[in-house]
A = this chain, B = another copy of it.
Amino acid sequence: MESQYYKYLKDKILVKPEHLPFIMSLVSRKHLKKNEILLSPGQICKNMFFVEEGLLRLYSVGEDTGKEHILQFATENWFISERGSLYFGNPSEFFIDALEATTLIIFDQKFIEQASEISPEFRNYNEYILQNHIRLLQKRINSLIGATAESRYLDFIKLYPNLTPRIPQWMIASYLGITPESLSRVRKGLAQTKSK
């Protein structure tokens, strides 16, 4: 069966054909309905997830305000996890849930180590993911401490053009660290300057 994850291992991670069956034998697949919750605060996150189809989000809820703060979206061919919990064993401070009906591949930290042992390509790609994650987070911090909401919004739709139409605007606002009302004003301003 040519699953999305299989294709990804073969074509993107460049895992050697002889290693593919073993690696595939260690993972499992799961289906989530829309709005289903995959991880809640307080739980120890035991798994990492690969999205074959659908859309997940990682977010926190302010203890005092009750407001959601979105840390990450994960769409097709993305990995997502709560690394602070997965790698360090701490209780999760975040939620992961499904914004659409989603098909996932599930594996754990031990799988990553096992697969890395037999496949150097897998090991390299795993490091690539970590490095890239750091690069993106750093970029986001840089814009959060230095750029206006408008500029951050423009960065967002440029970086995730196919994601933008799939999620409500208040979630984009939550990702950017502003209110939906503010985002609405930002968009209004952009529409006006553009039309001139």
Query: Which residue numbers of A lie inside 8 Å of B, CB to CB?
Result: 60, 62, 65, 67, 69, 71, 83-84, 87-88, 93, 127, 130-135, 137-142, 144-146, 174-177
Some 11 contacts from A to B, beta carbons below 8 A apart, are A65-B146, A69-B145, A71-B138, A71-B142, A83-B134, A83-B135, A134-B134, A137-B141, A144-B177, A145-B175, A145-B176
Instruction: Name the distance in Å between A78's Cβ and chain B's nearest Cβ.
Output: 15
Closest to A173 in B: B145
**Docked CA distance A15–B137 (Å):** 30
**Docked CA distance A139–B69 (Å):** 11
Given A127-B130, A130-B131, answer yes or no on A67-B146 (Cβ-Cβ < 8 Å). Answer: yes
> Nearest 3 pairs between A and B by C-beta?
A145-B177, A137-B137, A69-B146
Instruction: Name the distance in Å between A178's Cβ and chain B's nearest Cβ.
Output: 8
Instruction: Name the distance in Å between A125's Cβ and chain B's nearest Cβ.
Output: 13
| Residues B146 and A144 in contact, CB atoms below 8 Å apart | no
| Residues A146 and B62 in contact, CB atoms below 8 Å apart | yes
Closest to A63 in B: B146
Within the oligomer, what is the number of copies of this chain?
Answer: 2
**Docked CA distance A177–B144 (Å):** 7
**Docked CA distance A132–B86 (Å):** 12
Please tell me which one of the listed residues B67, B84, B135 contacts residue A138 in the complex, with CB atoms under 8 A apart. B84
| Residues B135 and A134 in contact, CB atoms below 8 Å apart | no
Instruction: Name the distance in Å between A87's Cβ and chain B's nearest Cβ.
Output: 4
**Docked CA distance A130–B134 (Å):** 8
Please tell me which one of the listed residues B60, B65, B130, B142 contacts residue A142 in the complex, with CB atoms under 8 A apart. B60
**Docked CA distance A93–B138 (Å):** 11
Given A137-B137, A146-B69, answer yes or no on A83-B131 (Cβ-Cβ < 8 Å). Answer: yes
**Docked CA distance A69–B138 (Å):** 11
